[in-house]
Structure 1
Amino acid sequence: MAALRGPGTDPRPMDARALAALAANPGCRRRALLDAAGVDKGAVAETLGAPARFGQSRFAFSRGHAFEARVKRDDCAELLRLLGVRGPGLDGTEVEGEPAGDVAVEVPELGAPGPEGRVLRTRLALAEATPGVWTLLDHPLLALDVAGSTAYLEPDAVAIAPDGRWTVVEIKSFPILDGGADAMKVGAAARQAAVYVLALDAIEAGRGRTDVLLVCPKDFSNLPTAEWVDVRKQLAVTRRQLARLTRIEEIAAALPAGTTFDLGYSPDGRTVTRPVAELSAAVESVPAAYAPECLSTCELAFHCRDRSRAEGRVDALGRGLRGDLGELTTVEAVLSAASGLTGDPADPAVSSLRRAAALRSEALSEAAKQGTPA
């Protein structure tokens, strides 16, 4: 992996967002390999002349950090309230039926040298949580095996309830307006949280809850509010898709000898010295599975789209159409099959294309007879 990203280049960690995107497109060997090797795909795409046009602005990044700090201030009192923990030490009022006195909460120290050390400290904290007491793990580090490569994942928080159940907490800066949030953003957060639940299941199956706490600002204020989000569907899909991934060593073994994605920075670290043609050849040596959905999740998506269009592949038209066309993988092959020049008439895709071509021809003839513009 170090040789693939280049000597002396620090690996770019694979986070839950990247892992969720990979699970949504398990057939893309290019993304799987580059993510496993820790290659900076954004820098590669910029060098190839197709930089990604998405990402979080500095303002949004700062706002997110400020909101998370508010949620966790005062020994995480606000977060405990959102988790449903009640007591005079949290909301300043006595609750009928609840015992008086402060709620006992433990926040263990998770610092350790290196990711392996942090993962071990997290595992120890999960195992040593005191029964009958709330325990909060602030930015724990989890490890998950992905096609033979280890991904390190850092949720915002994991709460351990007095009954021993583990709850993933996701803190996002997008608002919950009138009791509801943007469906696409909630869906993305759910897929990301499902990855964390999967990593917790790898430690001890059944301890992690399948509903996660999504914490967001309320309306247009900075006041935290929360929703419980059921991620059972996302968890099942992620588990199934990750199991379908080709193992990283198999993908790497199929590469030409000497393949590397090293950008060859100058000594001052500011200039890329690797010829673009060489880097492009290295990237193209790994099969990709481009789909329009990649444009919002992968830094190399614009490069892959340009190549797909240049080769006349149907991938650029969407996964649904690509699946319907079966073995017809190029626009040229589709047009040839539709015109009857190639293709097996027994193939459902070919039969449908020829039927569509006949209907189109009939419609154009009728329009010509009536003098209607086509």
Structure 2
Amino acid sequence: MPRPLDARALAALAANPGCRRRALLDGAGVDKGALAEALGSPSAAFGQSQFAIARGNTFESRVKSDGGTELLRLLHERTGGEEPRDAAVPDLAAAGPEGRAARTALALREATASGGWTLLDHPMLALEVAGSPAYLEPDAVVVAPDGRWTVVEIKSFPMIDAAADPAKVGAAARQAAVYVLALERVAGLVSGAAQDTGSPAPAVAHSVLLVCPKDFSNLPTASLVDVRKQLSVTRRQLARLTRIEEIADALAPGASFALDQPAPELTDTVESVPATYAPECLSACELAFHCRDRARSVDAVTALGRGLRAELGGLTSVGAVLDAARGHAGDAADPAVAALRRAAALRAEALAGATVGGAVCR
């Protein structure tokens, strides 16, 4: 069964838009973990343990209990405005993701027109990515009386002394930015309808409410996280993604990612789709070990990091970098080549000094 794109996968795609392999596999719903196993390069364990998932679900249920009273109180504390009372919690059930997305859009429109507080529990948002629809499900969206829509992310990692792990907050912000982007699409549609009926126009907040356990307890606390930077990067990077149909057209006729085919044929199919490996992939993609081995086998400098790859310009292999540094190849007028030769000279000078110093000491 194809695996649908989610916000975490889209955030990873946005972080590496040049990787056609991931774009095609995610767009086709291929289980990359199972694919890595079939290729003989199993990935490290991804995702949370069952215990962590159960703990997170229990915490989320507590935050949303009693009609989301505690959640709305936390949002009101951070944003001010009218005090929340008798918030509506509409039923968003519908057939299939398309039906749920349509029902969510209708609920958002009705909530904006009502002029009261509304909590949408696990709404469904649609976003087009590389020519294909992706359906996303944030933890919650709150509609305030002034028409402001705020994405809510509920996480089980703690906030200790009002601060959480920066790496985890950053990952949550990147994921939330995908939800905000999808919510802006819905807001555009609702705004058009609002102009026709004279209803209030919605405004999507660019700060999301991050709710976490307080210190070492199970009591919720919250912080507003500005995701404007992540939103800008995500919007730009997703726009750069090549349409999945164009990538698929480059495959050989009859090519398949079926896991039951012989390993050599599966490997050839995977390798026929270009990948852009970087060390950051190790924490975001199940195929990272396979792609890293391939990058190392051809001495690709991308295996050393995107920052270094950007500095080296047209030098794409470790061998080419070493030849340029030693003066055996490369244009001396190239800034990257000049910097490498200067670095090699300084290294030789330092090593010569160390050798002389050692001889004197002896």
Q: Aligned equivalents of 2:205 and 2:4: distance in 1?
A: 26
Paired residues of 2:212 and 2:222 also in contact (CA < 8 A): yes
Deviations 1:245-267, CA, capped at 9 Å, x for gaps:
11111111112222211113xxx
Q: Which residue of 2 aligns with 1:7?
A: none
Which of these residues, 32, 39, 55, is aligned with residue 30 of structure 2? 39
Paired residues of 1:261 and 1:279 also in contact (CA < 8 A): yes
Query: Is the partner of 2:204 in helix, strand or coil?
Result: coil
Which of these residues, 50, 62, 65, is aligned with residue 70 of structure 1? 62
After superposition, the Cα gap between the structure-2 partners of 1:85 and 1:366, relative to the gap in structure 1 and judged at 3 Å, is: closer
Paired residues of 1:160 and 1:166 also in contact (CA < 8 A): yes
Q: Aligned equivalents of 2:324 and 2:236: distance in 1?
A: 34
1:356 aligns with 2:343: yes
User: Hey, which bits of structure 1, 4+ residues long, moved more than 4 A?
Assistant: none
Q: Which residue of 1 aligns with 2:199?
A: none
Bigger CA drift: 251-260 or 190-199?
A: 251-260
1:284 aligns with 2:284: no
Paired residues of 1:131 and 1:164 also in contact (CA < 8 A): no
Q: Which residue of 2 aligns with 1:303?
A: 290
Q: Which residue of 1 aligns with 2:92?
A: 110
Paired residues of 1:107 and 1:137 also in contact (CA < 8 A): yes
> TM-score w.r.t. structure 1 length?
0.88
Identity %: 70
Structure 2 residue ranges without an equivalent (≥5): 189-201
After TM superposition, give the deviation of residue 370 of structure 1 in Å.
Answer: 3.0
Q: Aligned equivalents of 1:276 and 1:207: distance in 2?
A: 51
Which of these residues, 331, 334, 338, is aligned with residue 318 of structure 2? 331
Paired residues of 1:337 and 1:350 also in contact (CA < 8 A): yes
Query: Is the partner of 2:76 in helix, strand or coil?
Result: coil
Deviations 1:294-348, CA, capped at 9 Å, x for gaps:
1111111111111111111111111000111111111111111111111111111
Deviations 1:225-271, CA, capped at 9 Å, x for gaps:
1101111111111111111111111111112222211113xxxxxxx
Aligned residues: 343
Q: Aligned equivalents of 1:85 and 1:216: distance in 2?
A: 15
Which of these residues, 239, 254, 257, is aligned with residue 258 of structure 1? 254
Which of these residues, 10, 17, 26, is aligned with residue 26 of structure 1? 17
1:341 aligns with 2:328: yes
Paired residues of 1:131 and 1:163 also in contact (CA < 8 A): no
Deviations 1:67-102, CA, capped at 9 Å, x for gaps:
11111112222112112189xxxxxxxxxx989xx9
Q: Which residue of 2 aligns with 1:224?
A: 220
Q: Aligned equivalents of 2:70 and 2:145: distance in 1?
A: 18
After TM superposition, give the deviation of residue 282 of structure 1 in Å.
Answer: 1.1
After TM superposition, give the deviation of residue 140 of structure 1 in Å.
Answer: 0.6
Q: Which residue of 2 aligns with 1:185?
A: 168
> TM-score w.r.t. structure 2 length?
0.91
After TM superposition, give the deviation of residue 207 of structure 1 in Å.
Answer: 2.0
Larger helix share, 1 or 2: 2
Q: Aligned equivalents of 1:85 and 1:351: distance in 2?
A: 56
Q: Which residue of 2 aligns with 1:94?
A: none
Q: Which residue of 2 aligns with 1:271?
A: none
Q: Which residue of 2 aligns with 1:293?
A: 280
Q: Which residue of 2 aligns with 1:267?
A: none
1:203 aligns with 2:186: yes
After superposition, the Cα gap between the structure-2 partners of 1:85 and 1:371, relative to the gap in structure 1 and judged at 3 Å, is: closer
Q: Aligned equivalents of 1:260 and 1:325: distance in 2?
A: 36
After TM superposition, give the deviation of residue 48 of structure 1 in Å.
Answer: 1.4
Q: Which residue of 1 aligns with 2:76?
A: 84
After TM superposition, give the deviation of residue 104 of structure 1 in Å.
Answer: 2.2
Deviations 1:34-57, CA, capped at 9 Å, x for gaps:
111111011101111222213211
After TM superposition, give the deviation of residue 19 of structure 1 in Å.
Answer: 0.5
Paired residues of 2:82 and 2:145 also in contact (CA < 8 A): no
Query: Is the partner of 1:159 in helix, strand or coil?
Result: strand
Structure 1 residue ranges without an equivalent (≥5): 1-9, 87-96, 265-273
1:163 aligns with 2:146: yes
After TM superposition, give the deviation of residue 161 of structure 1 in Å.
Answer: 0.8
Bigger CA drift: 364-373 or 160-169?
A: 364-373
Q: Aligned equivalents of 1:160 and 1:64: distance in 2?
A: 24
Residue type of the alignment partner of 2:183 = L
After TM superposition, give the deviation of residue 366 of structure 1 in Å.
Answer: 2.7
